[in-house]
Chain A
Amino acid sequence: MSEAAVPSNAQDGAIDHSKLKISPEDIKEYDGSSRTVVLFGFFIAIVWLLIGTIAGDLTSFKFDKPDFLTEQAYLTFGRIRPAHLNIMVYGWASTAMFAVSLWLMPRLCRTRLRWGSVAVVGMLIWNIGLIIGIVLMLNGTNDGMEWLELDRYRSDPLLIVGAALVGASIWRTLAARNIHHLYVSVWYVAASYPWFLIIFITGNLPIYQGVESAAANWFYAHNALGLWLTTINLGLIYYLLPKIIGRPIYSYWLSLVGFWGLALFYALNGMHHLIGGPMPSWMIATSITASILMVIPVVAVGINQHMTVVGRFGAMRYSPALTLAVIAAMAYTAVSLQGILTALVSVNRITHFTHWTIAHSHLGLYMFVTLSLFGGIYYILPRLLNKEWPSTSLIRAHILLAGGGMVLYVVALGAGGVLQGLAWLDPAQGFAASVNNVKPWLFVRSISAVIITLGHFVFAYHCYLLAFTTRSHTSRHPPFFDIKPVLVRKK
């Protein structure tokens, strides 16, 4: 930061940010302070990504060939499926999100990362807890609730300590900030850590019985998506879009509406997963109402992000990070509106318990969360390693395989799920008919899973080339330079 601009009292409300001049050298210093811990987090996350992807593939294949790999108990559907979910949520996404938050906070707070070694220890403890939980899960021990399968006595306490330590580093950095006004990404990232700890601890308390445990289960699972996975990634997108395009966010006020709307309304959403279940009707009605209220923050975020990029979609030709961030932002709006619609009783009546739910969750967890994290990694790694990605072809291959594969996945399972639900509602059709209806769509899902897997291995290989070899890029143009998007305005 240039000296003339350093305020005498850095947290004085009178500071005008436009007068705080931050130099590229300052940015390098902030990045340097988080370099080790961020690289460590990304490395672990990518390892989990590959393991979780293989587990997902095996799960998918078992729908096509139910006898596939059933000799060993640890490879049976009931164990490999929750292993896939937990590895992707806690291993891949959460660890990558730790890294992203630890990189973002120093930049946004204009200070060096504080307690970086505490964050490293936290990530280690988190991952040890996850390994223990996954091994127990494959061995047949889990807590029996979706998203909360990790063992509550031997695994979950380690995850809690791990997240708390990473969160401590985030909040210590926030406390040491050299600015007064917090950029919207700081709100999202900093709030995510206490939210995660509250929902994860309460979701795992061994006090719930019967119906209550189902309610606590969906209280946790839905909030894990909305108050953990969503928040850090929205924070990342709110940073990447304006930064790459080179213009401030369209309406900073709308971005705050989006954040506070989510903070105030989201917590009650989860019960819409239990429509039709033996729950008090007021609870379901409250949840549906809260879900519909989410239209406000979702539309606020959607309009804001669209208006920031509109007229400049051509920038996606220059930056793979922006390409992924834009697709992720669109997916956030799509999955949120889809979720609101699914909360309506008339829609839920058809889609509940069907493969539609899996398509919906992958639209959120993959098209939004994972593509956003890929975008973050494409942006962050070259800056931390001080070199370019070695290959445009590998970036192109990764984005096309992962993005195209997931579009196929969501369309196939979404269509299959609706057909499945309609068959269940038709008394003239037996259960076998609903199975036959969905079989071709499940096969397409398996094909898309293989395509996505190829994309992930290409990505991991490219990260390896970037980090561990001296290969430099030779291409004159960015990966999508030759593609002229339809949304580019003529000059």
Chain B
Amino acid sequence: MLTDSFTLILLSLAISLPPLIFLFLAIINGQFERLDSTAESIFEENELRYARPWENSAQASSRLAKYGVPLNNPLKEWEHWL
């Protein structure tokens, strides 16, 4: 039985050990610092200021407080429906 399962142990280690090593490398490399700015890194300049038509007044106020005066989306995305 052990013979049959030995290969599986190796396979599972081959898959699970590299992520563990990469996890430590990522920690050492500072990848888990500045999480908030990393979360915002996908947005274009001023994108978080674009008004969203589905937001209620509280959500729009929150956007105004966090990101500044709302702007119109230059791509007019919500006037169409990209």
What is the interface of chain A, defined by CB distance below 8 A to chain B? 2, 13, 16-18, 20-24, 26-27, 107-108, 179-183, 185, 191, 194-195, 198-199, 202, 207-208, 210-212, 215-216, 219, 223, 227, 239, 242-243, 245-249, 252-253, 256, 260, 263-264, 267-268, 271, 279-280, 282-283, 311-312, 314-315, 317-321, 379, 382-383, 388-389, 392, 473, 477-479, 481, 488-491
Contact = CB atoms under 8 A, between A and B. Distances in A.
A267 B15 contact: yes
Interface in B1-45: 1-2, 4-5, 7-8, 11-12, 14-16, 18-20, 22-23, 29-45
A183 B36 CA distance: 11
Contact size range, B:
35 or more
A338 B69 CA distance: 45
A318 B41 contact: no
Interface of B: 1-2, 4-5, 7-8, 11-12, 14-16, 18-20, 22-23, 29-45, 47-48, 50, 52-57, 59, 63, 74-75, 78, 80-82
B29 to A, nearest CB: 7
B31 A239 contact: no
B39 A252 contact: yes
B32 A256 contact: yes
Contacts, number: 164
Nearest 9 pairs between A and B by C-beta?
A478-B81, A263-B19, A17-B37, A314-B54, A267-B15, A252-B39, A248-B39, A17-B41, A21-B45
A179 B29 CA distance: 13
Contacts of A312: 52, 54-55, 59
A16 B34 contact: yes
A24 B47 CA distance: 9
Do most interface residues of chain A lie in helix, strand or loop, or is the interface mixed? helix
30 contacts: A16-B34, A17-B34, A20-B41, A22-B44, A24-B44, A24-B45, A24-B74, A108-B41, A108-B42, A180-B30, A183-B38, A191-B19, A198-B14, A216-B8, A242-B42, A247-B48, A248-B40, A252-B36, A253-B35, A256-B35, A263-B19, A264-B16, A267-B15, A282-B5, A312-B52, A312-B54, A318-B81, A379-B82, A490-B56, A491-B56
